[in-house]
Amino acid sequence: MVIQYWREYRTYYHIGLDFGLSESAVCRIVFKIENILIKSRKFSLPGKKQLWKISSEEDLIVMDVTESPIEKPKIGQKRFFSGKLLVHTLKTQVVIYQKSSQIICLGHDKGKIHDFRLFKNSGIKFG
């Protein structure tokens, strides 16, 4: 049920019809499973401190920023408006370890902010 919610982006209503449950019951189940997975710590990212441990010159870290469109906010539209895409967006900075393709850490901000300012505000330092 939870995998259907994550992978297929189905609504609680439609998943509930398949399993004979109400929307609220499906919501509770998804919420419980997500909390169990979060508490297991198997799905957490290494974090910024991992960058200090990767000190070899052969190790390559890749960093990029992507923009994801969002619905137009009712308050503070200017902060989310991206002049590049001409829509309201959220920016996400992704730091990846090249050898294993593992995501090390993420940074988020509003769409108007420049990519380099997002990098400076994230506090990521390479060792």
In this predicted structure, what is the pLDDT of residue 32? 96
- Which residue bears the tokens 């019809």? 17
CB contact at 8 A, 118 and 105: no
Residue 36: per-residue pLDDT: 92
Amino acid at 22: S
Q: Are strands 61-69 and 87-97 parallel, antiparallel or unpaired?
A: antiparallel
pTM of the predicted model, to two decimals? 0.62
Residues of the chain under the 50 pLDDT cut:
none
